[in-house]
């Protein structure tokens, strides 16, 4: 069993050398690898606590887990690929405050936009109803105009008829007398 683990470890070190183009002596492998030319890319968050202590401070169980997970859940990368920038907490706080204010402003603008949209929809509905009312009123006016034209024509016809009857009556009156 120890021979298999050793063989597997040798294979993994060979892969490490091939990936990084550097040679790390097994006795020089560090979990806290700052300044060693490589660092660790950890994909499994449950392994992160193991990298906070030196190898010599871990139990055999931790060694076995590291051996099992190396190359799968974590692997070495060139140190420059994982360097982090230290930021001034004051700058981060200022930026967080500015971001929060900007987010609040966006939220406020989104609410105002929503209210304006609702107002626009309400006005569109009012305009539509007004246009329908105007259309109905125009139809009513048109009906009244048609009716007025009808009565005007009837009045003219009645005037003509009355005029004719007057003439007949006058002729009859002169004949009777």
Task: Give bridge partners of residue 77 from the DSSP assignment.
Answer: 39
Report pLDDT digits (tens) over 27-85. Answer: 777 887 777 777 788 888 898 888 888 888 888 888 888 888 887 888 777 776 445 55
**Higher-scoring residue by pLDDT: 35, 160:** 160
Among candidate residues 107, 115, 110, the one with its CA nearest the CA of residue 99: 107
Q: How far is CA 9 from CA 21, 22, 34, 41, in A?
A: 17, 16, 22, 18
pLDDT band at 119 (very low <50, low <70, confident <90, very high): very high
């Amino acid at each position: 069993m120890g021979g298999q683990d050793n063989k597997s470890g040798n294979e993994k070190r060979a892969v490490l050398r091939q990936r990084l183009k550097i040679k790390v002596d097994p006795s020089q492998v560090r979990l806290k690898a700052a300044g060693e030319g490589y660092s660790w890319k950890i994909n499994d968050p449950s392994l992160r606590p193991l990298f906070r202590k030196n190898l010599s401070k871990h139990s055999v169980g931790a060694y076995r887990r590291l051996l099992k997970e190396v190359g799968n859940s974590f692997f070495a990368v060139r140190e420059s690929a994982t360097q982090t920038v230290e930021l001034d907490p004051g700058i981060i706080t200022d930026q967080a405050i500015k971001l929060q204010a900007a987010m609040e402003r966006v939220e406020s603008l989104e609410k105002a936009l929503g209210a304006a949209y609702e107002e626009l929809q309400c006005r569109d509905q009012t305009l539509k109803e007004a246009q329908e009312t105007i259309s109905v009123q125009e139809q009513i006016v048109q009906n009244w105009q048609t009716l007025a034209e009808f009565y005007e024509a009837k009045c003219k016809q009645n005037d003509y008829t009355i005029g004719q009857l007057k003439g007949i009556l006058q002729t009859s009156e002169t004949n009777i007398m």
